[in-house]
């Protein structure tokens, strides 16, 4: 991924998500019968995978919430992981 302001991740159809009381999110892919739990920070990124929010915007949101300057790198890493698992695509 080169220019994070031009990358718009979106959740794939068929991925069910359930928010847990502690802020974690459980993702379930009915196509492969596979599940994963996201921590609260990753859950926020997942929610912004709407095809309308750029990767750069997500990094800024996470940086503001977490007060961590390297949030864009962490956001990119999570987006790469979700993409490699077939959970998101790019608009």
Tell me the pLDDT tens digit for each residue of 13-67. 999 999 999 999 999 988 888 899 999 889 999 999 999 999 999 988 888 887 8
**Entry pTM:** 0.86
Is 55 in a helix, a strand, or coil? helix
From the list 9, 18, 24, 20, the residue with the least C-alpha distance to 84 is 9
Query: So what's the pLDDT on residue 65?
Result: 83
Averaged over 68-75, what is the pLDDT? 79
Which residue ranges make up each domain of the chain? Answer: 14-85
CB 77 within 8 A of CB 59: no
Has residue 1 got a pLDDT over 60? no
Helices (H) and strands (E) in the chain, counts: 3, 5
């Amino acid at each position: 991924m080169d220019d994070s302001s031009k990358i718009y991740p979106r959740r794939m159809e068929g991925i069910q998500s359930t928010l847990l009381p502690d802020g974690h999110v459980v993702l379930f892919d009915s196509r492969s019968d596979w599940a994963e739990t996201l921590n609260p920070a990753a859950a926020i990124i997942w929610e912004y995978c709407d095809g309308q929010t750029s990767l750069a915007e997500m990094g800024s949101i996470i940086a503001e919430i977490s007060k961590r300057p390297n949030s864009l790198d962490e956001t990119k890493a999570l987006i790469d992981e979700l993409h490699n698992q077939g959970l998101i695509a790019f608009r």
